[in-house]
């Protein structure tokens, strides 16, 4: 390539410059204790920093205890949780990467079992015996359960919404205290703020339900309050479900309107995912109403069209996520205008040094200078031996 690939060009967002366009997507570990980060979280997130991802997001982190997806989820509703996160952010920064955090409230999808415990993904019941596995009352915009046989959530009144908004604001302040330099608000996958947006889950008849403007009102209030709390220099991302993928649900056109409104209240990047509003639907549809088959729903880069539209039709930067596995694929997404950033999930868990491999494949780092110095000499020697054995 005649010029440095976009994947490895810096990106400045407000008062912060990311060293490259590779992002570690928030990846739930279900390994916290009372919301506190454990040694596993340090080991997990520090690996991606050693692999030189530009931005490393901590997992969906609950802004209050009832907002956890499971009893094992990370939290940031008290100062003890802040102290447990500081060593992680310090190490990420020391490696030249940027630490980010996704602030979340699970809403009516809270109080569930971690995926790797018996009955994983289902609601916690009083019969569960694992430590901490006592069910709690969930909240939502309307008293509509996620799916059949799920608990009915409590409909939030104005005081309840005020409490949640304040929890996001306080969590944002604690995130800064913990050393995070980017905050993402979770408005996707059926969790609380997404459930206000979608007409499937929001059937209120007040100023927070009904029209698109009303359904967007509370998530926008939260975003605006968080921007006011963190100041003008800190980048704010929002993850959206660009489409619900269910008849009568949230659409891509809705997402364009939401993205424009989010920019107006100070959001910088729209992270474009999809789905999750209701439990285990038998089928999903695309934004044109066409059924998505199992194969078509999970093709490499299947969500890139969403980030491309946000980038083209709004003033937001956009981030693509979803089966991005190959460095050349990631570069093509950026080159074609599909996104400003690419986020990896399962692929980077499988290969935490994916960014370093991408740098080699795209010709950015032929001498392995991007590698941590503790590894670079060994990697260089390994390749010298491989070349000698091939007779190069």
| Alpha-carbon span 187 to 28, nearest angstrom | 16
The DSSP secondary-structure symbol of 391 reads T
Counting every residue written for the chain, the total comes to 392
> Do residues 270 and 338 lie in contact, with contact meaning Cβ atoms separated by under 8 Å?
no
> Do residues 47 and 80 lie in contact, with contact meaning Cβ atoms separated by under 8 Å?
no
Element (H, E) at 294: helix 294-297
Question: Residue 95 burial by CB count (10 A; 0-12/13-18/19+): exposed, middle or buried?
Answer: middle
> Do residues 316 and 268 lie in contact, with contact meaning Cβ atoms separated by under 8 Å?
yes
Catalytic residue (choose from 191, 208, 306, 375): 191
| Antiparallel, parallel or unpaired: β 291-292 and 236-241 | unpaired
> Does residue 191 carry a catalytic annotation?
yes
> Do residues 319 and 273 lie in contact, with contact meaning Cβ atoms separated by under 8 Å?
no
CA 147 to chain centre: 23
Residue 105: both structure tokens together: 């409230």
Closest Cα partner for 380 from 391, 392, 365? Answer: 365
| Alpha-carbon span 185 to 227, nearest angstrom | 11
Angle (nearest 5°) at CA 349 between 377 and 42: 75
The DSSP secondary-structure symbol of 33 reads B
Question: Residue 158 burial by CB count (10 A; 0-12/13-18/19+): exposed, middle or buried?
Answer: exposed
Active site positions, annotated: 191
């Amino acid at each position: 390539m005649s010029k440095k690939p976009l994947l490895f060009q810096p990106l400045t967002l407000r008062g912060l410059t990311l060293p490259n366009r590779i992002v570690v997507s928030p990846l739930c570990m279900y390994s916290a204790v009372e919301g506190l980060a454990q040694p596993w979280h340090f080991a997990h997130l520090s690996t991606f920093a050693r692999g030189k991802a530009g931005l490393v997001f901590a997992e969906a982190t609950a802004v209050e205890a009832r907002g956890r997806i499971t009893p094992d989820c990370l939290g940031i509703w008290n100062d003890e949780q802040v102290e447990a996160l500081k060593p992680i952010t310090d190490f990420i920064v020391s490696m030249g990467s940027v630490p980010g955090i996704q602030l979340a409230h699970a809403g009516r999808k809270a109080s569930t079992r971690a995926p790797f415990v018996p009955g994983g993904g289902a609601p916690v019941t009083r019969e569960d015996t694992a430590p901490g596995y006592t069910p709690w009352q969930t909240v939502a915009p309307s008293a509509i359960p996620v799916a059949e046989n799920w608990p009915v959530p409590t409909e939030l009144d104005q005081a309840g919404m005020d409490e949640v908004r304040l929890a996001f604001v306080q969590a944002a302040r604690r995130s800064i205290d913990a050393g995070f330099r980017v905050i993402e608000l979770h408005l996707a996958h059926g969790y609380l703020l997404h459930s206000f947006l979608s007409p499937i889950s929001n059937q209120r008849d007040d100023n927070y339900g009904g029209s698109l403007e009303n359904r967007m009102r509370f998530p926008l209030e939260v975003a605006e309050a968080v921007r006011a709390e963190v100041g003008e220099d800190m980048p704010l991302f929002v993850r959206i479900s660009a489409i619900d993928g269910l008849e009568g649900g949230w659409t891509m056109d809705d997402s364009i309107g939401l993205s424009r409104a989010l920019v107006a209240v100070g959001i910088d990047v729209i992270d474009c995912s999809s789905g999750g509003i209701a439990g285990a639907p038998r089928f999903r549809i695309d934004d044109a109403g066409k059924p998505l088959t199992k194969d078509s729903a999970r093709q490499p880069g299947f969500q890139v069209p969403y980030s491309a539209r946000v980038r083209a039709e709004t003033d937001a930067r956009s981030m693509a996520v979803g089966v991005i596995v190959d460095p050349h694929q990631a570069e093509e997404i950026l080159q074609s205008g599909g996104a400003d950033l690419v986020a990896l999930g399962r692929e980077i868990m499988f290969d935490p040094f994916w960014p370093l491999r991408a740098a080699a494949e795209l010709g950015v780092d032929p001498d392995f200078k991007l590698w941590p110095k503790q590894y670079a000499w060994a990697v260089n020697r390994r390749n010298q031996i491989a070349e000698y054995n091939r007779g190069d």
